[in-house]
Structure 1
Amino acid sequence: MAIEETAEEKILTEDIPAEAHKGKEAPKGKLPAAKAPALSNFSERGRRRRAGLGKGPRAKPEFDQKILSIRRVARVMAGGRRFSFSVALVAGDRKGRVGVGVGKALDTPSAISKAFRDAQKNMITVKMSSHFTIPNKVRGKAGSSEVLMIPAPVRGILAGSSVRDVVELAGIKNINAKIISRSKNKLNNARAAVAALSKP
């Protein structure tokens, strides 16, 4: 009688489906079922991007910038020359804030980012009238460069070279600016324009 009971129990255990063995060792002679690989999230991102459901439009940067000059400079070291890039640019929000910056690095993108940070440090606030012009005549100087600025309501921007870039990024729409020195240095001309606009 005991032999028959053990035979029945053995048959019952063999008929139990594989789902009941979760967390236990698999029966002998059978391999455990392989888990399905996790689906990558990249395909879902691609579908959302194509359907227009991504992160949305990029936010407009607070400051605009214009590059005045990019120069390749060299420094003489003990082992030879070491080359780098020097960038000068103007940055402004077109709402009354503007600044000039210079940056130097081994590659151009790093030099541009350094110059932009330097321009942010040197920001000034420009006083403007209701006609988007300066309240009175001013003069600025930087090195051998000298700039004269005269208010000109409803005349537009009458300026050239890097002075025009400074005026536009400051948000001024009506002004008459003139470089009264013979200097053609764009960086000094831009600094002279900023010095003139910083005066009350």
Structure 2
Amino acid sequence: MADEIQNAGAAGAPGGERRGRGGPGGGRGRGPGGGNDRDRGGRGRRDGNNPVEAAGEELVEKLVHINRVSKTVKGGKRFGFAALVVVGDAKGRVGFGHGKAREVPEAIQKATAAAKKAMIRVPLRDGRTLHHDGYGHFGAGKVYVRSAAQGTGIIAGGPMRAVFEALGVADVVTKSVGTNNPYNMIRATFASLVDQTSPKAVAQRRGKKIADLMARRGDVSARVAEADAEAMA
């Protein structure tokens, strides 16, 4: 009888292996050795999934405008900052973004992230200028852009210059009328860039050869047109 009582006491002791709850070795415990323990660090899996950062691209970032903003809430006014940023790879891709935050660095960071997500590709002639003249408008702002000869430089001011520098354009002539608002000027400039089309795209759409389109110009011979077509292909 004494042996049975001793065995029962050993089975019910705190160190028994029947049903441990919370102990380091418990089968159902939530302690360090618990079977149902979950890794609380799972939220960090999203880090490094940004396609722009993963690609390792070297982008040109231009801070175009920053201004102070306010929001009226129940307790009064809450002040912050708004930033306008242009981002490009200087190889035919460019985008702009707008961000607001309580502090200037955070607003710039948000605007830069938005610009990277909204980048567009613009075809360039010889990698230095536009293929043809263009026009864009947004609100009261109107923008005219023209292709230029080599050595002309970027004839543009303010926000428009930042766009063409980030885009990688070396020669262009622009004109802006109607507004000095940097947001409207940027959007109007992008409206003019979206309409840019290369001769290669026009030839594919019409089912013709690039040389045939280039030779229709009065000052371009067939031989020169073929050379230009081979360079664009």
TM bracket (short chain): 0.5 to 0.7
Return 5+ residue gaps in structure 1 as ranges.
Answer: 1-59
1:164 aligns with 2:161: yes
Distance 1:183 1:61 in 2: 34
Q: 1:153 aligns with which of 149, 153, 156?
A: 149
Return 5+ residue gaps in structure 2 as ranges.
Answer: 1-55, 198-233
Distance 2:193 2:97 in 1: 16
**Over residues 67-101 of structure 1, what are the superposed CA-to-partner deviations in whole Å (9 max), with x where a residue is unaligned?**
11111111111111111111111111111111111
Contact 1:159 1:177 in 2 (8 A): yes
Alignment-derived partner of residue 103 in structure 1: 99
The Cα RMSD (Å) is: 1.4
1:185 aligns with 2:146: no
1:173 aligns with 2:170: yes
Contact 2:137 2:143 in 1 (8 A): yes
| Aligned ranges 1:52-67 → 2 under 5 Å | 62-67=58-63
**Over residues 81-132 of structure 1, what are the superposed CA-to-partner deviations in whole Å (9 max), with x where a residue is unaligned?**
1111111111111111111110001111111111001111221111101161
Distance 1:118 1:131 in 2: 26
1:76 aligns with 2:72: yes
Deviation at 1:159, TM superposition (A): 1.2
Higher alpha-carbon Rg:
1
Distance 1:85 1:61 in 2: 28
Q: 1:138 aligns with which of 117, 126, 134?
A: 134
Instruction: Provide the aligned length of Structure 1 versus Structure 2.
Output: 140
Deviation at 1:182, TM superposition (A): 2.3
Distance 1:188 1:61 in 2: 28
Distance 2:183 2:65 in 1: 8
Contact 1:68 1:187 in 2 (8 A): no
Q: Specify which structure has the bigger relative contact order, considering alpha-carbon pairs within 8 angstroms and separated by 6 or more residues.
A: 1
Q: 2:112 aligns with which of 113, 116, 119?
A: 116
**Over residues 116-168 of structure 1, what are the superposed CA-to-partner deviations in whole Å (9 max), with x where a residue is unaligned?**
01111221111101161111111111221111011112121111121111011
Q: Aligned AA for 1:129?
A: R
Distance 1:85 1:148 in 2: 31
User: Quick one: percent identity of the two aligned structures?
Assistant: 37
Aligned CA distance change for structure 1 residues 92 and 144 (closer, same or farther; 3 Å): same
Q: Aligned AA for 1:198?
A: V
